[in-house]
Structure 1
Amino acid sequence: MMLRGISLARKQLFSRNFCANAIKNNVKSDGFRRFWKNTSVSGENGKVFVKLDGHSLKTPSGKKLEIPTTMQPLAHLVALEWDRLPTSSIRPHMLPVTSLFSRAMELTDAENEKKRVFDQVIKFLDTDTVLVYAPAEEYEGKLLKEQQKKWLPLKKAFEEMFNVQLKHLDGDVGIISNKQSIETHETIQKWLNSLNPWQLAAFERCVASSKSFILSTLLLQGSLSSEEVVELTNLELCFQTNKWGSLEDAHDMDHHDLRQKVSSSALVFQFANTLN
């Protein structure tokens, strides 16, 4: 059934709630054509809103998607994401910035959810991408040398930034428990507590995508670029593809997906710094 056959009243109600439900449920709505014609950005009461045909976007919980005025340039990027959607078959990868703002609002004044995020991201520090090294005999030790060359300086930079000492996994010993010290966790926890909801949402995505607390921190502090994080995250994969070749479609899609998630995280985090 096409949306054009629905009464005007039902159409207006649907357009108000569809955005929130689409993000929340990742609905597949191939039966509907795009129902909005225009996207716009407007300011009200010190906040910025993105609208579809005059109706504000909403979060999965039904709140209006509010964007701080200092982040207004990103509101236009959110509007562009929706303006470029060809149909109402919405997928998260089509809305990278929208979904980050939605996540940030869900984290606002939600202490239990923030604690859950803290617990999840800090776990990555124990088995961080940058802290897991290949065995010396693998690839004649060439992969290990490449990892040591590119990863050890990052480990050192992180340690100096937080005045901590990190343990790493030695490939010659095998995959064993690599729990960081209580003191390290406490220091990192204090830093996480200092992040505002927009920074935390961006950091959460970056860590989950790169599997690296260290790379994400250095990226969001401006020590690494998005492209460098993608390259360093895929160091072993790049080493293997240079040696054996790649599956172009699969590897290209994975690379694009990682780059999009890392880049959108860095962009939102940069603007979110203005809120502190």
Structure 2
Amino acid sequence: MSDWKAKRFWKEATVEEGNGGFEVKLDGRPVKTPAKRSLLLPTRAMAEVIAAEWDAQEGEIKPHLMPATKTANAAIDKVAVQHAEVADMLADYGDCDLLCYRAEGPAELVARQAELWNPMLDWAQQALGVRLALREGVMHAPQDSAALAVLRDKTHALSAFELAAFHDLVSLSGSLVLGFAAAHQARDPEALWDLSRLDEIWQAEQWGVDEQAEEMAAVKKDSFLHANAMFTLCRQV
């Protein structure tokens, strides 16, 4: 029995509106999450992407080829039931945001961080209403509590589906500011990902590319871009 794997049993995956959202149905039967909850989606656009994942399955079901379904399941089964805890965890990144911790040297790296990261902190001041302070080195220094409270409120205001995507935007980049920039579509998501890897890119330019590290980074980039796409789907009609 341990070798048994689920196989496609349906002919067609469709999207239907109802119950306050959009459902993906397999031959008329609604898809359930792993916890047996209704896979009720906030937008038709997201439901259509998930339906396409189910329609693309042939023979044995391959969950790793269904990233949108996986994210939606996480939003319903995990984030929705512990929304406050997840929001607090992500908001804490504001107190140690990647963009605030600057190298002490060499001068070229210091200059590049200022050139590329300062505009994002400027954006956060304009769009989010907070100005995070810079730190030199890696020792933690707390940010202004009022600024952190604003960022915390904005994080808690996200829906479960938004927060599920936001989790990866923030945790993969190491930056709450970059996560919000992606959510606000302030920059191209690939450009935002490159900003999160500024230090690694600079190191590779100096010492050469570490192929294993680049392979791992490519996997994380794909996850970041997927999270960005899922956040966007949350707000599409």
Note if 1:240 corresponds to 2:211.
Answer: no
- Indicate which of 136, 142, 154 corresponds to 1:191: 154
Tell me the equivalent position of 1:131: 100
Note if 1:61 corresponds to 2:35.
Answer: yes
Distance 2:36 2:124 in 1: 39
Identity level (%) = 23
- Indicate which of 155, 159, 170 corresponds to 2:121: 155
Tell me the equivalent position of 1:115: 84
- Indicate which of 171, 195, 208 corresponds to 1:208: 171
Tell me the equivalent position of 1:36: 9
Return the index of the structure with the highest Cα Rg: 1
Q: Alignment RMSD, CA only?
A: 2.5
Runs of 5+ consecutive residues of structure 1 not aligned to the other structure: 2-28
Taking structure 1 as reference, are residues 81 and 178 closer, same or farther at Cα in structure 2, changes over 3 Å only? Answer: farther
Distance 1:146 1:58 in 2: 48
Note if 1:144 corresponds to 2:110.
Answer: yes
Query: AA paired with 1:119?
Result: D
TM-score, length-normalised on structure 1? 0.74
Does 1 or 2 have the higher relative contact order (CA < 8 Å, sep 6+)?
A: 2
Distance 2:197 2:205 in 1: 12
After TM superposition, the structure 1 stretch with the greater mean CA deviation from structure 2, 119-128 or 190-199, is 190-199
Q: Is the 8 A contact 1:167 1:178 kept in 2?
A: no
Q: Is the 8 A contact 2:32 2:39 kept in 1?
A: yes
Distance 2:44 2:34 in 1: 21
After TM superposition, the structure 1 stretch with the greater mean CA deviation from structure 2, 185-194 or 221-230, is 185-194
Cα deviation, residue 33, structure 1: 6.2
Q: What SS does the aligned partner of 2:130 have?
A: coil
Q: Is the 8 A contact 2:15 2:51 kept in 1?
A: no
Deviations 1:82-120 (A, max 9, x none): 3445644534xx332112222332444x4xx11101210
TM-score, length-normalised on structure 2? 0.85
| Aligned residues between the structures | 234
Distance 2:62 2:67 in 1: 15
Distance 2:161 2:4 in 1: 34
Distance 1:241 1:83 in 2: 41
Deviations 1:156-192 (A, max 9, x none): 2112323323123202xxx222222221122112222
Cα deviation, residue 222, structure 1: 1.4
Tell me the equivalent position of 2:73: 102
Deviations 1:52-111 (A, max 9, x none): 45543222321121123xx222222212333445644534xx332112222332444x4x
Q: Is the 8 A contact 1:39 1:50 kept in 2?
A: no
Runs of 5+ consecutive residues of structure 2 not aligned to the other structure: none
- Indicate which of 170, 180, 190 corresponds to 2:143: 180
Taking structure 1 as reference, are residues 219 and 30 closer, same or farther at Cα in structure 2, changes over 3 Å only? Answer: farther
Taking structure 1 as reference, are residues 76 and 273 closer, same or farther at Cα in structure 2, changes over 3 Å only? Answer: closer
Tell me the equivalent position of 2:223: 261
Distance 2:202 2:3 in 1: 41
Distance 2:139 2:210 in 1: 31
Q: What SS does the aligned partner of 1:121 have?
A: helix
Q: Is the 8 A contact 2:121 2:131 kept in 1?
A: no
